[in-house]
C-alpha cells in the first residue's frame, strides 16, 4: 500500500479540531489531556482540563497538590486512579527528572499511569520521537484500512496493526500523523454505525470500503458480563448538611466521600436501625428513586432514602457537609449523581 501519510496529513491540517491542549501544546498539557481522554469523551473532558490547568498549571503544582483538592478537580470524571497516578508521576518527575517530563518512550513508561499508548502520544506530539500511539480510534481505522478481521482485543492483532501503521509514519511529523489517525477515528471512521467514508481522505486506499465490509471490522471479543451489586444510599440530613464518610484508601473510588451506604436493598426499619447504631435519632425515612451506575466491570443498583435526623455531632469517621462543602471540599463520585440532585433541593 502506498503511504497514507500525505493524504491523511492534508486532511488533518484542514479539519483538526481546535482544542486547548493543541493550541497551547506543552508536554505537561499533552500528558494531562491524554490521561483525561483515556476513558472520557473530548467534550466531557474539556471543562475539566481547563479547570485543572488553571488550578495546577505546572508539574510542581500537581506534585504538591493536597489530595482532597486533586480529588475535587477530578470529581465526576471517573476512574479516579488516573488522578492519583498522575500525581505520583508528577512527584517522580520532580524527584528524579528535575521537574522536566522525560522526552522518550523508554523513560515515560517508567512513570505511574503512563502505558505504551500515552508514552507514544507524549513522545511523538511533544518531542517528535517517531513512535506509534495506537488507541481504540487508531485500531478501528487500521483494522478497516487493512481489512484485518483479527480480534483487536488480542495483543498479537494490536501489535501487527501497530506495526503496519507505524511503517507509514513520516519522520518529520510523527506527532501530527498519530493525532491525525486518532482524529480520523473520532470524526470520520466512527464507531457504532457506518463510518463516513465519503468524507475520508483514505477512501481510495481502504480495503474494507473496497469490499463493502466497513461495518464488519474491527472484530472484538464480547466483553465479560459485569457483576452487579445492590446498595441502599442513605441521605441523613440535619441543619442543612448531609452525613458523609470517606471510602477506604484502596480499591474502587478510593478515598472519595459518600453518603451512608448500606449493602443490599434494605427497608425503612433497617435504615433507622443503621442510623441509630451511628448514634443518630432518625425521623421516618422517605424513599427516593432508584439509580444505577455502571463501572467498567461492575454495576451498582441503588435504592435510596432521605432521612431527616436530629442534629448531633458527626459519628466517628463521618463529617457533616453543607452545600458549600459539597461543592468545594468533598469529592463525591459521579456514581451518586442522582442523589446529589436530591441534596441540591434540600440543603
Ligand atoms: S474509507 Fe471508511 S472505513 Fe475506510 S478508513 Fe475511511 S472512513 Fe474508515
What is the C-alpha to C-alpha distance for residues 138 and 181, in angstroms, rounded to an integer? Answer: 6
List domains and CATH numbers for the chain: 5-216 (1.10.340.30), 227-346 (3.90.79.10)
Active site residues: 34
pLDDT digits (tens, 9 = 90+) for 82-103: 999 999 999 999 999 999 999 9
Cβ distance 75 to 331 under 8 Å?
Answer: yes
What pLDDT sits at residue 320? 97
CA-nearest residue for atom 8, ligand 1, is: 189
Report CA(223)–ligand 1 centroid distance (Å).
Answer: 25
Pairing status of strand 257-263 against strand 227-238: antiparallel
Alpha helices in the chain (DSSP H): 5-15, 20-23, 27-36, 42-55, 59-64, 67-74, 81-96, 105-108, 116-127, 136-145, 155-166, 174-187, 207-211, 268-277, 323-328, 337-346
Residue by residue, DSSP assigns 264-327 as S---HHHHHHHHHHTT--BPPPEEEEEEEEE-SSEEEEEEEEEEEB---PPPTTEEEEEHHHHH
Distance (angstroms) between ligand 1 centre and the Cα of 15 equals 16
Three-class secondary structure of residue 183 per DSSP: helix
Q: Is 186 touching ligand 1 by the criterion CB < 6 Å?
A: no
Provide the greatest CA pair distance for the chain. 75
194 Cβ contact partners less than 8 Å away, ≥ 6 residues apart = 214, 215
C-alpha 12 to ligand 1 mean position (Å): 15
The pLDDT, as a whole number, for residue 60 is 98
Specify the ligand 1 atom closest to the Cα of 199: 7
Q: Which pLDDT does position 150 carry in this prediction?
A: 97
Q: Return the ligand 1 atom nearest residue 184 CA.
A: 7
Which pLDDT belongs to residue 147? Answer: 98
Binding site membership of 187 for ligand 1 (Cβ less than 6 Å): no
Q: Which of 139, 144, 218 to mutate to test the pocket of ligand 1 (most atoms within 8 A of CB)?
A: 144
Distances (CA, A) of 207 to 11, 165, 342: 19, 14, 52
Beta bridge partners of 243: 320
What pLDDT is stored for residue 78 in this prediction?
A: 85
The C-alpha cell 478501528 sits at: 140
CB atoms within 10 A of CB 194: 8
Report yes or no: 244 and 340 within 8 Å, Cβ to Cβ.
no
Predicted pLDDT of residue 235: 97
Question: Which parts of the chain register pLDDT below 50?
Answer: none
Alpha-carbon gap, residue 347 to 343, rounded angstroms: 6
Q: What is the rounded distance in angstroms from the CA atom of residue 288 to the CA atom of residue 304?
A: 5
Distance between CA atoms of 55 and 26, rounded to whole angstroms?
Answer: 16
Is the distance from the beta carbon of residue 144 to the nearest atom of ligand 1 less than 6 Å?
yes
Amino acid at each position: 500500500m502506498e503511504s497514507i501519510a500525505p493524504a491523511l496529513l492534508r486532511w488533518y491540517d484542514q479539519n483538526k479540531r481546535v482544542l486547548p491542549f493543541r493550541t497551547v501544546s506543552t508536554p505537561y498539557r499533552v500528558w494531562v489531556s491524554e490521561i483525561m481522554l483515556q476513558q472520557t469523551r473530548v467534550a466531557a473532558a474539556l471543562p475539566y482540563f481547563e479547570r485543572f490547568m488553571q488550578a495546577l498549571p505546572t508539574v510542581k503544582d500537581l506534585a504538591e497538590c493536597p489530595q482532597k483538592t486533586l480529588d475535587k478537580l477530578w470529581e465526576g470524571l471517573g476512574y479516579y486512579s488516573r488522578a492519583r497516578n498522575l500525581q505520583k508521576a508528577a512527584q517522580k518527575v520532580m524527584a528524579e527528572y528535575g521537574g522536566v517530563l522525560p522526552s522518550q518512550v523508554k523513560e515515560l513508561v517508567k512513570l505511574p499511569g503512563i502505558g505504551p499508548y500515552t508514552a507514544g502520544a507524549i513522545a511523538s506530539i511533544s518531542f517528535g520521537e517517531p513512535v506509534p500511539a495506537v488507541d481504540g480510534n487508531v485500531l478501528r481505522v487500521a483494522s478497516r484500512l487493512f481489512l484485518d478481521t483479527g480480534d483487536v482485543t488480542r495483543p498479537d492483532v494490536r501489535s501487527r496493526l501497530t506495526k503496519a501503521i507505524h511503517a507509514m509514519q513520516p519522520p518529520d511529523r510523527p506527532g501530527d500523523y498519530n493525532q491525525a489517525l486518532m482524529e480520523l477515528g473520532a470524526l470520520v471512521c466512527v464507531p457504532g454505525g457506518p463510518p463516513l467514508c465519503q468524507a475520508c481522505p483514505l477512501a481510495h486506499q481502504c480495503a474494507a470500503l473496497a469490499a463493502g465490509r466497513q461495518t464488519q471490522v474491527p472484530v472484538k471479543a464480547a466483553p465479560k458480563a459485569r457483576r452487579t451489586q445492590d446498595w441502599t444510599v442513605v441521605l441523613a440530613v440535619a441543619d442543612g448538611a448531609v452525613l458523609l464518610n470517606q471510602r477506604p484508601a484502596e480499591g474502587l473510588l478510593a478515598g472519595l466521600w459518600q453518603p451512608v451506604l448500606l449493602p443490599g436493598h434494605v427497608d425503612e426499619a433497617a435504615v433507622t436501625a443503621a442510623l441509630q447504631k451511628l448514634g443518630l435519632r432518625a425521623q421516618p425515612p422517605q424513599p427516593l428513586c432508584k439509580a444505577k451506575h455502571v463501572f467498567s466491570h461492575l454495576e451498582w443498583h441503588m435504592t435510596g432514602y432521605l432521612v431527616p435526623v436530629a442534629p448531633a455531632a458527626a459519628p466517628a469517621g463521618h463529617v457533616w457537609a453543607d452545600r458549600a462543602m459539597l461543592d468545594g471540599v468533598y469529592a463525591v463520585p459521579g456514581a451518586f449523581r442522582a442523589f446529589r440532585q436530591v441534596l441540591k433541593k434540600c440543603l
